[in-house]
Amino acid sequence: IVQVVALMATEAILQQHLHDPDRVTYKVFRVKKTSTLQELMDHFADAFKYPVEQLRIWPFGVRSNQTCRPTPLDLEADLHKNVQDISESQNPWNVFLECVSPDSGLTTLPPFDKDSDVLLFFKMYDPKAKRIYYCGHHYMPVISKVQELIPMLNERAGFPPDTELLLFEEIKPNLVERITNFNEPLEKVLEELMDGDIIVFQKKPRENRRHLPNATEPEVSTCREYFRDLFYRVEVTFCDKMIPNDPGFTMELSTRMNYQQLGSAVAQRVGTDPARLQFFKTQTYKDSPGN
């Protein structure tokens, strides 16, 4: 079984990391173990309606920090090998299928040198919307300076060309590190530079916004704070104690909220004054006697 991720902008990718096997939607193919990589590519080309030269397979590999990222294949060497050998007998075999973007004007995928190039993925964080947007991927020479990414990222985000950006490396869920030296090459700036590395960017704030005690949520002005806040998010169900068997409603909240922030958030949801609300923990009942 070969499981293909062809569209990278899934909810799991946007929230945290690149590849969560439990949340990504796959297109599943059943192929013979003896099928060659060339035959598999022909099968993909027929299924996705792309010429073979506009497709490239990137198997997902597990890194030392237990994250899954795309890894390159040596197409020239592997094209006539069978799938069982290339996949190292993984079943299912999870791959990212890269396709030429319809609006790129390209007739083939650009060449990729696995020794001197690196495959990078990009996300844009919008502090106002508190959302992450997937901004595609790109090949870069490992000796390229970080500064060379800025014009491309501004263009993809629809920002003016001279927009100042903050850049972060998403190392793993809840671990996002700021990139500060734009004049150094990628191979020196990114931690253990490898294909599939993720760069998150956002507009540089004009001023540092401070956390407001009366705000309904913790401040998330940078993507680092966003991912940290996401880590603390939980779903909470509220039921009216005065209504028997009330199904209630569910809200996604942060465990870092204080009581006042909780009250403000729920009051806004139900359309009332926070002072009119009182919260109780649920009581757990057992059929058998206990302490």
pLDDT (tens digit per residue) in 217-261: 446 788 888 888 778 888 999 999 889 999 999 998 988 889 999
The average pLDDT across 56-75 equals 84
What pairs with residue 94 in β-bridges?
A: 3
Tokens representing residue 268 in the block: 């806004």
Would you say residue 95 has pLDDT above 80? Answer: yes
Beta bridge partners of 121: 137, 198
Q: Please report the pLDDT score of residue 284 as a whole number.
A: 63
**pLDDT, position 27:** 82
Distance, CA of 260 to CA of 213 (rounded, Å) = 9
The predicted structure's pLDDT at residue 173:
73
Section 71-84 average pLDDT: 86
Cβ 132 vs Cβ 123: under 8 Å: yes
Mean pLDDT of 99-105: 83
- Residue 212 above 60 pLDDT? no
Least confident of 26-40, 181-195, 202-216: 202-216
pLDDT band at 181; cut points 50, 70, 90: very high
Domains of the chain, start order? 2-99 (3.10.20.90), 117-208 (3.10.20.90)
- DSSP string across 266-286: HHHHHTS-GGG----PPPP--
Q: Could you tell me whether strands 93-99 and 233-238 are parallel, antiparallel, or unpaired per DSSP bridges?
A: unpaired
- What would the mean pLDDT of 67-91 be, rounded to a whole number? 85
Token pair in block for residue 29: 């193919």
pTM for the whole structure: 0.75
pLDDT at 208 over 70: no
Q: Determine the average pLDDT of the residues in 101-106.
A: 81
User: 210, exposed or middle or buried, with CB in 10 Å at 0-12, 13-18, 19+?
Assistant: exposed
Q: Phi-psi category of 17—alpha, beta or left, where left has phi over 0 and alpha has psi -120 to 50?
A: left
Give the per-residue pLDDT at 24: 65
Among 16-25, 32-41, 93-102, 199-208, the minimum mean pLDDT is found in 16-25
More confident residue, 208 or 143: 143
- At residue 94, does pLDDT exceed 50? yes
CB atoms under 10 Å from CB of 170, counted, come to: 23
pLDDT at 14 over 50: no
Give me the sheet containing 175-179, strands edge to edge. Answer: 131-141, 117-126, 197-203, 165-172, 175-179
Q: Which residue has the tokens 């690149």?
A: 18
Per-residue pLDDT for 15 more than 70?
Answer: no
